[in-house]
Amino acid sequence: MKPIPSVPLKMQTFAEEEMGQRALAFFELMKQRHSTRDFADKPVPLEVIMRCLETAGRAPSGANQQPWHFVVVTDPEIKHKIRLAAEEEERAFYAGRASEEWLEALAPLGTDADKSFIDRAGCLIVIFAQSYGLTEDGSRVKHYYVQESVGIATGFLIAALHNAGLACLTHTPSPMGFLSEILQRPKNERAYINLVVGYPAEDAQVPQHALDKKDLTEFVTVL
């Protein structure tokens, strides 16, 4: 097998004690992260959003194909179009599209068809998954592990936004085809998540149910 072009890994390592301190500090930071629907009507710094997106772009992906595209929406008119389309889908969802089991699972979170937070929040970051790539001549390039890759990048982004002091909400109306239409995205992209981002309102609330997290022993096995 021919050797592939490589460069040295540039990564800082730490003594075990410092590793523990850093791991704990990051956990304490992320422990404060919760989804909220209560946003302040305040613009967010675009340069901060872009830096957080750079972090998302460093996420690992299948064959390093980076099968994602992020659309940042701050224009009030476009945000309002998205809100109206989302509420139309959500009304259908709560009125009969969702199963009773699904609605029962959502009940402790207090969600409904009102998506006014889309108008209030500083920006939307609509994340698209690219099922395939396109070369300059229009040929298709198959992408691998698309959902996994975009999910990891989304996780990087959420952590980066929280680290910067911004709140966010993962909004996933079903179906989400209207996002591709409003934002005029190509056919090889499918909306993955509408990430609502902004400063939390001074009186922002979090449902009590959202604080109920599994204990480490419930979701980790060490062999």
The rounded distance, in Å, linking the Cα atoms of 128 and 192 is 5
pLDDT for the residue 95: 86
Mean pLDDT in residue range 125-136? 95
pLDDT for the residue 140: 95
pLDDT for the residue 186: 95
Cβ atoms 206, 32 nearer than 8 A: no
Mean pLDDT in residue range 110-120? 92
pLDDT for the residue 171: 95
The rounded distance, in Å, linking the Cα atoms of 153 and 159 is 10
User: What's the domain count of the chain?
Assistant: 1
Owning domain of residue 90: 36-201
Q: How far is CA 197 from the centre of its chain?
A: 9
DSSP-assigned beta bridge partners for residue 194: 126, 171
Q: Could you tell me if residue 211 is inside a domain?
A: no
Q: Could you tell me if residue 6 is inside a domain?
A: no
Backbone angles phi, psi at 84, to 5 degrees: -60, -45
Q: For 84, what's the count of Cα atoms within 13 Å in the CB-facing half-sphere?
A: 6
Q: Could you tell me if residue 77 is inside a domain?
A: yes
Q: How far is CA 176 from the centre of its chain?
A: 14
Q: Could you tell me if residue 218 is inside a domain?
A: no
Cβ atoms 56, 157 nearer than 8 A: yes
Confidence band of 67 (pLDDT split at 50, 70, 90): very high
Q: Could you tell me if residue 70 is inside a domain?
A: yes
pLDDT for the residue 86: 95
pLDDT at residue 32 greater than cutoff 80: yes
CATH number for the domain spanning 188: value is 3.40.109.10
Q: Could you tell me if residue 215 is inside a domain?
A: no
How high does pLDDT run on average in the chain?
95
- Taking each helix axis from N to C end, the angle separating 146-163 and 46-56, rounded to the nearest 10 degrees, works out to 140
Q: Could you tell me if residue 14 is inside a domain?
A: no
Residue with tokens 């929280």: 162
Mean pLDDT in residue range 41-49? 97
Structure tokens at 94: 């709560």
Give the global pTM: 0.94
Mean pLDDT in residue range 167-194? 95
Mean pLDDT in residue range 85-112? 87
Q: Could you tell me if residue 220 is inside a domain?
A: no
pLDDT at residue 1 greater than cutoff 80: no
